Amino acid sequence: MKLPLKLKFKIVLRAVVTVLRRPKYIILSIISTLAMAGIIIWSLNLELLGYILFQAPLDLFGKIDFIAYGYQSLFTTYDNLLSLGIIVFTVFFGINIAMLVYVIKRQGMKAVPKKSGGGAFIFAILGGGCVACGTSLVAPLLASFGAVSAPFLRDLGAIFNWLGSLLIIYSIYKLSLLISVPPVTNTVHSGNKSNSE
Amino acid sequence: MVKKISIGVIVIAVLVVGWQLLPSTNKQTASTQQNESSSTTTQAAIQDDDLVIGDKVAPATITEYGDFKCPSCGQFHQEAGKQLRDGYIKENKLKIVFRPIAVIGPDSERSAIGAYCAKSHGKFTEYHDAIYNYMWDNYYEARNFSAEYKDILTSKLLSTIAQELGLDTATFESCLNELSQAQKVANNQKTAQEIGVRGTPTFSINSQLVVGPQPYNVFKSLVDIQLKQ
């Protein structure tokens, strides 16, 4: 059945509110957002991160500070479009994880849609860095195809990232359907009980 | 359940980072050894040919592999680079060894050669700033990144900039065509490849590679570590 866009939006909004009004899911969402942002930000400097964590003569606070400084690079390493894309993606990613856990907890693993964010994760990681300058994970791949000088490369990182966001939104929508509209079999067997949550 | 998943997310994040680090440990050791062995040419001992911003005998060193056409390099120059110059470099605690490489286009190489020509007239820092400011003010600040793919830094433009800096344009123009100057850029390219530079800007600090125009505090932390050692 094809649902009107307005109704889809309402379903998603209702599901997001249902999940995020519980503090533990907000915390899970924030942790997931920060973890994902960290992975994207540090993906180009993992050796440096390893050096800071395990070798650098810094105390614990110094190490924490350094990692926190890395998050500032969101506004220096990436241009505005890509920065915004990463922020949007990571926030959606956090919401997606919280909703995924909510669904697993209530309906079991079998209820989880197959496409629930893995592809989006890959796109977002590939989208980081400056493709044209060679400081992107996707740059060596493109260079091997001789495509480094194509003008569209400048925004390719942002395109990858926004594509990741679209996939995450799709995943959120699929999870929202499960949260807002519980499976028919559940309704039949447990009657009103399934709606009371 | 939520607690377990939260721990799971953190564990996965740690594993991803660890997985990326493990295979690179050998590479890192090798590259560290390589860096240490080549540090006489990349960091510790400054060669006559090196393009240096700041005092040559300053205790801390950042080696920058940059392209004059690269917007991210321009961004570093406008942000963290300026802050480093206002602080550590002004206080003679830090020098930046700039190694121009050509990543983006033919004018990347031309402008890189121009840096060595400007150096021979004692005007490298001025030339470095003038080129980055030109690209930033005219193109990159307004997100006009199509300039990356156009031949902007022509011999004529570089000569005009050189003239504004008080260089003899005839000597500068003939220097741009000297093979010995082009060889210096090629040498940088080779060194960059050897130490694992994939793009610009990449910095070598304490034998660690730092990719991208990171915020000032990242450089500050690494320079402070170097100053303590």
- The complex's ipTM works out to 0.74
* Confidence band of A71 (pLDDT split at 50, 70, 90): confident
A-proximal residues of B, 152-191, CB under 8 Å: none
How high is the pLDDT of residue A115?
59
Residue A145 has pLDDT above 70, yes or no: no
Candidate from A74-83, A98-107, A137-146, B142-151 with smallest mean pLDDT:
A137-146
How high is the pLDDT of residue A194?
43
Q: Tell me the per-residue pLDDT of B95-126, one tens digit each, with 9 for 90 and over.
A: 999 999 998 888 999 999 999 999 999 999 99
How high is the pLDDT of residue B28?
39
CA–chain centroid gap for B156, Å, is 25
How high is the pLDDT of residue B229?
82
pLDDT beneath 50, residues of chain B: 16-44
Inter-chain touch B212–A132, beta carbons under 8 Å:
no
- For residues B196 and B209, the answer to whether their CB atoms sit within 8 Å is yes
Kindly state the average pLDDT of the residues A78-97: 83
Residue A41 has pLDDT above 80, yes or no: yes
From chain A, the residues in CB contact with B209 under 8 A are 45, 47-48
User: A83 versus A77: which is more confidently predicted?
Assistant: A83
How high is the pLDDT of residue A141?
54
DSSP structure string for B12-67: HHHHHHHHHHHHHHHHHHHHHHHHHHTHHHHTSSPPTT-EEES-TT-SEEEEEEE-
CA distance A193 to A187: 8
* Residue A146 burial (C-beta neighbours within 10 Å; 0-12, 13-18, 19+): exposed
Residues 6+ apart with CB under 8 A from A50: B17, B21, B24, B28
How high is the pLDDT of residue A93?
87
My answer on whether omega of the bond before B100 falls inside 30° of 0, hence cis, is no
Q: Tell me the per-residue pLDDT of B176-189, one tens digit each, with 9 for 90 and over.
A: 999 999 999 999 99
How high is the pLDDT of residue B98?
97
How high is the pLDDT of residue B223?
96
How high is the pLDDT of residue A121?
59
How high is the pLDDT of residue A171?
85
* Confidence band of A147 (pLDDT split at 50, 70, 90): very low
How high is the pLDDT of residue A103?
87
Selecting from A47, A129, A133 the residue whose C-beta is nearest the C-beta of B24 gives: A47
Residue A151 has pLDDT above 60, yes or no: no
* Confidence band of A178 (pLDDT split at 50, 70, 90): confident
Q: State whether residue A144 sits within 8 Å of chain B by CB.
A: no
CA distance B80 to B92: 17
B-proximal residues of A, 88-107, CB under 8 Å: 97, 101, 104-105
How high is the pLDDT of residue A26?
95
Backbone angles phi, psi at B204, to 5 degrees: -115, 115
- For residues B10 and A31, the answer to whether their CB atoms sit within 8 Å is yes
CA–chain centroid gap for A165, Å, is 7
Question: Angle at Cα B186 formed by Cα B181 and Cα B190, nearest 5°?
Answer: 150
Kindly state the average pLDDT of the residues A159-173: 81
Kindly state the average pLDDT of the residues A115-122: 58
How high is the pLDDT of residue B54?
95
Distance from CA of B75 to the nearest CA of A (A): 7
- For residues B218 and B206, the answer to whether their CB atoms sit within 8 Å is no
